[in-house]
């Protein structure tokens, strides 16, 4: 058993934890379920804090440079939020509207796992957020919303789900935090991969993501890369819980475990280069080859481009929706995979 870490302020120089040397060594070279199992062993068990200790933990994990609460449900990136919260004095309490107080938002709602430890105090999926907006989100899943029935001050939306394959009511946070929340969900199905089979969550079937949930989270993960805020929060939680979110430290592992091409062997290509820029796919090869097949799949596994190119370089128009894509280049045993973000 790891000893409980005291939630006391640390000097700034001690707040840059980073993984210890060799922390992820057992995961080296793995993909698919063997990789998830290795990551489970690395991040489990963790030092469990009490639910009422979350308030103190937030002052370490979600503090802005001006010492106010970093609330993802009211933040306005590159702008001025309509209100800010102070630690301690603005803890909920009761509330009658936005801006009254902040509380503890389980991005993976407690009703999905029967509100039991250690899930109910695991900081990797819990954030300080406006109490009113938190209540409007309720226990609805995250999703995309085109016709909102409720919109928060910073643009968060609740309404019918518009993502393919998804139905019912969902909550859509602003774009700046979609990747953070997606990586929190991937963490939950890794840290609790054994427990999740018993959970009654509307995004899971037998402990695994529904296909629509998986494709949504993959798209959010790709469109909103890991930020400096997320890196710092990962380090802070590591000092408290003694474990890390591996998908913040190694975002590529998400695609090695989930999605239609999970576990795909991305071979080092010394004869082919492929990259996306300014609405075009660029392919450069060493030597002249005829009829090199190229197939591009989106995060749901749908084919969005199939063609052949000739010569030692080619430029292909590519104006698909934003998200993660995989380009399969070549034939048979020489086929290579290139992941890229549009």
d(CA 291, CA 330): 9
The HSE-up count of residue 306 (CA atoms within 13 Å, CB side) is 3
When divided into structural domains, the chain yields a total of: 2
Residue 183: in which H helix or E strand, if any? helix 178-191
- Listed residue (208, 207, 301, 322) closest to 259, CA to CA: 301
Q: Would you state the pLDDT for residue 336?
A: 78
Query: Is the same domain home to 276 and 227?
Result: no
Among the three residues 225, 257, 289, which one is the final residue of a domain in this structure? Answer: 257
Can you list the positions of beta strands (E) in 155-287?
A: 157-160, 169-172, 204-205, 208-209, 272-277, 280-285
Residue 40 is given by DSSP the state H
- Give the count of beta carbons closer than 10 Å to the beta carbon of residue 97: 9
The CA distances from residue 228 to 30, 70, 272, 281, in Å, are: 27, 13, 32, 29
Our CA dihedral for 182, 187, 188, 193, rounded to 10 degrees, sits at 130
d(CA 285, CA 79): 45
Query: Is the same domain home to 199 and 287?
Result: no
1 occurs within a structural domain: no
d(CA 31, CA 44): 19
Rg (CA), the chain: 22
Beta carbons of 335 and 289 less than 8 angstroms apart: no
Query: Is the same domain home to 230 and 328?
Result: no
Q: Would you state the pLDDT for residue 288?
A: 55
Range of the domain at 300: 272-341
Residue 215: asked if its preceding bond is cis (omega within 30°), the reply is no
Q: Would you state the pLDDT for residue 335?
A: 75
Among the three residues 223, 257, 291, which one is the final residue of a domain in this structure? Answer: 257
Beta carbons of 244 and 19 less than 8 angstroms apart: yes
Query: Is the same domain home to 80 and 165?
Result: yes
225 occurs within a structural domain: yes
Query: Is the same domain home to 248 and 314?
Result: no
Among the three residues 228, 257, 286, which one is the final residue of a domain in this structure? Answer: 257
User: What 3-state DSSP class applies to 108?
Assistant: coil
Residue 109 is given by DSSP the state -
2 occurs within a structural domain: no
**pLDDT tens-place values along the chain, 342 residues long:** 333 333 333 333 334 457 999 999 999 989 889 999 999 999 999 999 999 999 999 999 999 999 999 999 999 998 999 999 999 999 999 999 999 999 999 999 999 999 999 999 999 999 999 999 999 999 999 999 999 999 999 999 999 999 999 999 999 999 999 999 999 999 999 999 999 999 999 999 999 999 899 999 999 999 999 999 999 999 999 999 999 999 999 998 998 899 766 755 555 456 778 888 888 888 887 665 567 888 898 766 778 888 888 877 888 899 887 777 888 887 776 677 787 777
Cβ-in-10-Å burial (0-12, 13-18, 19+) of 25 comes to exposed
240 occurs within a structural domain: yes
Residues 6+ apart with CB under 8 A from 62: 69, 70, 71, 127, 128, 233
Query: What's 305's domain CATH number?
Result: 2.60.40.3080
291's tokens: 């009829």
d(CA 114, CA 119): 9
Query: Is the same domain home to 252 and 276?
Result: no
Q: Would you state the pLDDT for residue 15?
A: 42
Beta carbons of 227 and 180 less than 8 angstroms apart: yes
Query: Is the same domain home to 210 and 287?
Result: no
Residue 201: asked if its preceding bond is cis (omega within 30°), the reply is no
């Amino acid at each position: 058993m790891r000893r409980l870490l005291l939630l006391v302020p640390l000097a700034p120089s001690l707040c840059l934890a980073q993984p210890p040397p060799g922390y992820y060594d057992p995961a080296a070279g793995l993909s698919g379920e063997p990789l998830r199992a290795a990551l489970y062993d690395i991040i489990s068990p963790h030092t469990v804090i009490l639910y009422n200790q979350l308030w103190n933990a937030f002052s370490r994990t979600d503090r802005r440079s001006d010492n106010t609460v970093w609330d993802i449900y009211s933040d306005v990136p590159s702008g001025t939020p309509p209100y800010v919260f102070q630690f301690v004095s603005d803890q909920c309490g009761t509330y009658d509207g936005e801006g009254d107080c902040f509380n503890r938002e389980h991005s993976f709602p407690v009703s999905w796992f029967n509100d039991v430890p250690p899930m109910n105090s695991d900081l990797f999926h819990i954030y300080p957020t406006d109490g009113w907006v938190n209540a409007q989100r309720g226990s609805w899943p995250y999703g995309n919303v085109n016709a909102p029935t409720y919109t928060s001050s910073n643009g968060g939306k609740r309404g019918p789900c518009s993502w393919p394959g998804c139905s019912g009511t969902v909550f859509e946070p602003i774009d700046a935090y979609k990747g953070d929340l997606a990586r929190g969900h991937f963490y939950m199905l890794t840290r609790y991969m054994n427990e999740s089979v018993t959970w009654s969550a509307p995004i899971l079937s037998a402990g695994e993501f529904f296909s629509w949930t998986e494709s949504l989270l993959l798209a959010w993960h790709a469109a909103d890369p890991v930020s400096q805020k997320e890196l710092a929060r990962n380090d802070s939680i590591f000092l408290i819980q003694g474990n890390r979110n591996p998908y913040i430290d190694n975002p590529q592992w998400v695609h090695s475990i989930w999605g239609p091409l999970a576990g795909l062997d991305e071979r080092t290509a010394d004869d082919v280069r492929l990259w996306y820029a300014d609405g075009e796919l660029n392919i450069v090869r060493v030597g002249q080859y005829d009829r090199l097949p190229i197939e591009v799949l989106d995060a749901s596994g749908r084919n969005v481009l199939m063609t052949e190119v000739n010569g030692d370089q080619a430029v292909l128009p590519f104006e698909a929706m934003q998200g993660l894509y995989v380009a399969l280049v070549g034939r048979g045993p020489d086929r290579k995979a290139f992941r890229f973000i549009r």
